[in-house]
Each structure stands twice: as structure tokens, then as C-alpha cells.
Amino acid sequence: MSNTSFFESVEKNFEKAAQITGHPRGLLDQIRVCNSVYHMKFPVKIDGEFQVIEAWRVQHSHHRLPTKGGIRYDSMVNEDEVMALASLMTYKCAIVDVPFGGAKGGIKINPKQFGVDSLERITRRYAAELSKRNMLGPGLDVPAPDYGTGEREMSWIVDTYMALNPGSVDGYGCVTGKPVTQHGINGRREATGLGVFYGVREACGVAEDMAALGLSAGLAGKKVIVQGLGNVGYYSAKFFQDGGAIIVGIGEYEGAIYNANGLDVDDVFNHRKSTGSILNYPGATNLNVTAEILEQPCDILIPAALENVIHEGNARNIKAKIIGEAANGPVTAEADEILNAMGIMVIPDMYLNAGGVTVSYFEWLKNLSHVRFGRLNKRFEQNSNTRLVETLEELTGKKLNADEIQRIVKGPDEIDLVRSGLEETMINSYHTIRQQLKSNPACNNLRTAAFVVAINKIASDYLAMGIFP
Ligand code: NAD
């Protein structure tokens, strides 16, 4: 295991890149530190008894507002972890050009040990605590789902905020990842996993980089292991499978399964749902120590559960050629150096799992503009395209069938625009980071290059503000 805490790991990675940027020390320190750390303890009545709940909200950077970042429910949540996650959010937003500062929240509970009523009371109280300190609001700080939370918790938060701020015209933008029926956006649920897929696909598409790893270009046929079958892991695995990769291993907290010939993601998901465990899936080998899944043979390893799972103790046993960090901080700073020396390509979390915050940004824009994406232009584009097809048919004398016409004329729905915006973001950002890596000899891996890109963007904001003349 690692002796370095999660936050120390992030700081170590930051420092490596910071030295390369050449910015003044004071400016780098301002970018690095957490601007505010709020630790709270509040009472909630659970099954008739008072219970003290411990929680945090960390706003890492106020250089752009609102701040943005998910809320985690886990019994291991602590201040160091929330600070690390909030820091990563700042760099992530900068990399994908989402105009927010980073933040993160955490409540130290095991959500599996509480009924829905209790979870609702804890969530609403947490939202109220944040709201009364001006730490929740569409222009202040906008949470989202993370480990252990989802659309349901976000709908409780928005409802609490609206109750405390009646008449707030932009109030629905106080949180993202809401159900589509509660001012959410189509495509947010699967956004992080889809972003992971787009990012890894882009990396695999560069033939020169794949040749250096001894791999062929493209995702098709590549063997993939996914750790964690929650929101991010499930959708990553599903998009990889649909994109032609072969899922050979899946790990969950109760154990892991491996089959070199491939696993069907939905079938495994349903097997786990009906039997209560991922183990004993037909045709697959059981691994009772769940971490062993990380060390099985594959081309691409996707840790999508929690931080620090690849550390000094197991990094040398990794057989994958590419690690796609779907989770936040799955590789410790020490392990990162070992993997680098082994020639393994690590696609860093602060870029690869940015699909969630990218689509959260689209949701926030939708909430502020009070109109669904595609509502104004869909029919217009459809009618223009129909006229174009009719004109071409008249000029050429050829007729298209109904399916062909439909494919060409269809105007964009919200989901089409969200996915196209996400794909564009992941592709552009990957090449910005890769370009930094290729053009800057001081960068020796994608993570350092990503940090350099992020630090330079944040520094230019501070410099433009005139705080550091
Ligand atoms: P989730 O709660 O939906 O799923 C996490 C899954 O991991 C659960 O099914 C859990 O049982 C499993 N798990 C826990 N410990 C494990 C272990 N030791 N081995 C294997 N599986 C284990 O959470 P999520 O939203 O998918 O988040 C996963 C990671 O992705 C976190 O690091 C989170 O910070 C990061 N992330 C999430 C989002 C998002 O939009 N939800 C965005 C960016 C990053």
C-alpha cells in the first residue's frame, strides 16, 4: 500500500509539472492550495434516534465561478480525500475548457446501511448546511453525483435549494446530474463512461503511439478489464464492448471474474443483480481477492472504483499496456513512476473521466437558458435537409429509400447534441495534452503533460486578473 495520502499524491504530480511551467512560486502555490475547506457535523434523526453526521465541502479554486464537483457517500470519506478530489476537479475543468473552479463534497456514511428515508434526510440537511453558508447555488458552487450518489440525491438537493430560495429563476442550475424529468439533461447518466470510451479510443487511434506499445491501432479486438461496475465502470465497459473491444475481466468489491474469450457486460450486470454477486458467472474464472483483477492479462485496464488501487505493492504486476483512469486517483504517485518506467501508457483521470463534468456543464447551461438543446433548431434543420434531398432527387432523377432519407434529414435531438459536444471535447483535449507531451521534452508522460496544460490555463486566468502582475 502507499504511504502517500491521496492529496499528497495529487500535489506530487502537480509539483512535477509546476517546475516545468516556469511560473512564479507564489502563483503556483495559489493554484495548488485549496481555497476553502468546510468541515461540518450535523444531527439527523435516524429511526427515531439522533445521529451525528460528518461531512465536507472543499472549494479548491475560486479563479472561476461557480465551483463544481461531485458529492461522495462512503464510510472512508475524509478531509484529505475530498481535498484531493476537489483539486483534481480544478485541473479537469481547465483541461476540457469547462469554465468552473474545482470543488468536491463528501459525507462519511455507508449509504448501504441507511434506508431511503434516512438518506433523504441526510442529503437534505447537507444541502441546507451548504446553502446557509452560501456554498450552494448556480453561481456559487454546483455539486453533482460521485461515488455512492446519483440522480436521486441530486433531485433531493435541488428540491431543498428551491425550497430555501423560492423564486430563484436559475435555481435549477444549483446542482447537475439531476433526473431528466427534474431539469436534468439527456446523456448525463452515461457521460463519464462515454467520455472514458472516447478518450481511450482517441489514444488507441494514434498508430505511432500504439506501435510504441506493441499494439495495433484502433480499439477493435483489444482486451479490456474494468474494475468497478458502478455508474462509470458499467457505462465504460458497455461502450468499449459496443465499440468492438473485448471485456475479459470485471471486478467488484465482492470479487472478480475473468474470461480471456470475453464477457457480456449486460449479462454480467444482470447475473450480479439476480444472484447478489459477480462471482460464479458461467464460463468465467472466479478471483476471490478482488484486487487480483488488476494484474490479469489484458491490453487496457480501466480502474473505475476508488483511488490508490494501483500502488507500489502491485504496480510491477500490471500486464496491461494502457491504463485508463476512469476513477479519480486510482494510481498513486509512486506507482505512476513505476508504470512509466515499465513503458505503460497511463491516460490520466483529470482528462479521462472529464466527460461527467463536461455534460454537467451542458446541463447547467440548459438550466440557465431554460430551453432544451435542439428545441429551436431541430425542425428547422430537418426541413432544410428535406428540401435539399428533394432538390438532389429532382436533379439526379434518383430516389433514396425512407431509411436513407431519415438518416440524412433528421434534425438533432438533445442527446445527439450532448454526445457530439462530449466527443468533440474529449478528442480536442486529448490532442492538446498529447501535443504538449510531444513538444515539451521535460514532460515524460500524459499526466505531467495534462498538468502543464491545466496549470498554464489557470495561470493565465490569474495573470489576466492582474493579481500577479
Ligand atoms: P458508483 O458508486 O456508481 O460505483 C462504484 C462501484 O465500485 C460500485 O459498484 C462499488 O461496489 C465498486 N467498488 C467499490 N470498491 C471496489 C473494489 N475494491 N473493487 C472493485 N469494485 C469496487 O461510483 P461512480 O460514480 O461510478 O464513481 C467511480 C469512480 O469514478 C470514483 O473514483 C469517482 O470519483 C469517479 N468519477 C465519477 C464520476 C461520475 O460522473 N459519477 C465522474 C468522474 C469521476
Query: Residue 359 CB: number of other CB atoms within 10 A?
Result: 30
Whether the per-residue pLDDT at 469 is higher than 70: the answer is no
Spell out the SS3 assignment of the chain.
CCCCCHHHHHHHHHHHHHHHHCCCHHHHHHHHCCCEEEEEEEEEEECCEEEEEEEEEEECCCCCCCEEEEEEECCCCCHHHHHHHHHHHHHHHHHCCCCCEEEEEEECCCHHHCCHHHHHHHHHHHHHHHHHCCCCECCCEEEEECCCCCHHHHHHHHHHHHHHCCCCCCHHHHCCCCCHHHCCCCCCCCHHHHHHHHHHHHHHCCHHHHHHHCCCCCCCCCEEEEECCCHHHHHHHHHHHHCCCEEEEEEECCEEEECCCCCCHHHHHHHHHHHCCCCCCCCCEEECCHHHHHHCCCCEEEECCCCCCECCCCHHHCCCCEEECCCCCCECHHHHHHHHHCCCEEECHHHHCCHHHHHHHHHHHHHHHCCCCCCCCHHHHHHHHHHHHHHHHHHHCCCCCHHHHHHHHCCCCHHHHHHHHHHHHHHHHHHHHHHHHHHCCCCCCHHHHHHHHHHHHHHHHHHHHCCCC
Distance, CA of 462 to CA of 460 (rounded, Å): 5
The average pLDDT across 349-362 equals 98
Ligand 1 centroid, distance to 303 Cα (angstroms): 9
Whether the per-residue pLDDT at 224 is higher than 80: the answer is yes
pLDDT value of residue 468: 60
Best residue among 71, 92, 253 to mutate for probing ligand 1's pocket (most ligand atoms within 8 Å of CB) is 253
- Would you say the CB of residue 228 lies under 6 angstroms from ligand 1? yes
Whether the per-residue pLDDT at 2 is higher than 80: the answer is no
DSSP label at residue 124: H
pLDDT value of residue 465: 86
Catalytic residue (one of 68, 104, 222, 238): 104
**In the block, which residue shows the cell 453561481?**
139
Query: Residue 432 CB: number of other CB atoms within 10 A?
Result: 17
- Would you say the CB of residue 335 lies under 6 angstroms from ligand 1? no
Whether the per-residue pLDDT at 37 is higher than 60: the answer is yes
pLDDT value of residue 381: 96
- Would you say the CB of residue 380 lies under 6 angstroms from ligand 1? no
Report yes or no: 112 and 106 within 8 Å, Cβ to Cβ: no
Residue nearest to ligand 1 atom 5, measured at CA:
230
**In the block, which residue shows the cell 465536507?**
56
Residue nearest to ligand 1 atom 41, measured at CA:
146
Does the annotation count 104 as an active-site position?
yes
pLDDT value of residue 71: 98
Whether the per-residue pLDDT at 444 is higher than 70: the answer is yes
The average pLDDT across 209-236 equals 97
Whether the per-residue pLDDT at 174 is higher than 70: the answer is yes
- Would you say the CB of residue 192 lies under 6 angstroms from ligand 1? yes
User: Percentage of the chain surpassing pLDDT 70?
Assistant: 99
pLDDT value of residue 289: 83
Query: Residue 258 CB: number of other CB atoms within 10 A?
Result: 20
Ligand 1 centroid, distance to 237 Cα (angstroms): 13
**In the block, which residue shows the cell 473552479?**
101
Residue nearest to ligand 1 atom 31, measured at CA:
327
Atom of ligand 1 nearest to the CA of 357: 42
- Would you say the CB of residue 95 lies under 6 angstroms from ligand 1? no
pLDDT value of residue 307: 92
- Would you say the CB of residue 251 lies under 6 angstroms from ligand 1? yes
**In the block, which residue shows the cell 473485448?**
246
**In the block, which residue shows the cell 432538390?**
391
pLDDT value of residue 277: 96
Atom of ligand 1 nearest to the CA of 234: 26
Ligand 1 centroid, distance to 60 Cα (angstroms): 22
pLDDT value of residue 11: 96
- Would you say the CB of residue 305 lies under 6 angstroms from ligand 1? yes
State the chain's mean pLDDT as an integer. Answer: 96
Ligand 1 centroid, distance to 211 Cα (angstroms): 31
- Would you say the CB of residue 147 lies under 6 angstroms from ligand 1? yes
Whether the per-residue pLDDT at 290 is higher than 90: the answer is no
Atom of ligand 1 nearest to the CA of 177: 40
Q: Where does the pLDDT of residue 160 fall: very low under 50, low under 70, confident under 90, or very high at 90 and above?
A: very high
Best residue among 190, 232, 269, 422 to mutate for probing ligand 1's pocket (most ligand atoms within 8 Å of CB) is 232
Whether the per-residue pLDDT at 83 is higher than 80: the answer is yes
**In the block, which residue shows the cell 468536491?**
104
pLDDT value of residue 178: 98
Residue nearest to ligand 1 atom 40, measured at CA:
356
Give the helix/strand (H/E) hosting 262. Answer: none
Q: Where does the pLDDT of residue 158 fall: very low under 50, low under 70, confident under 90, or very high at 90 and above?
A: very high
β-strand pairing of 246-252 with 223-227: parallel
Give all domains of the chain, ordered by start, each with its CATH number. 7-190+431-465 (3.40.50.10860), 214-342 (3.40.50.720)
C-alpha cell of residue 101: 473552479
The average pLDDT across 122-131 equals 98
- Would you say the CB of residue 358 lies under 6 angstroms from ligand 1? no
pLDDT value of residue 466: 79
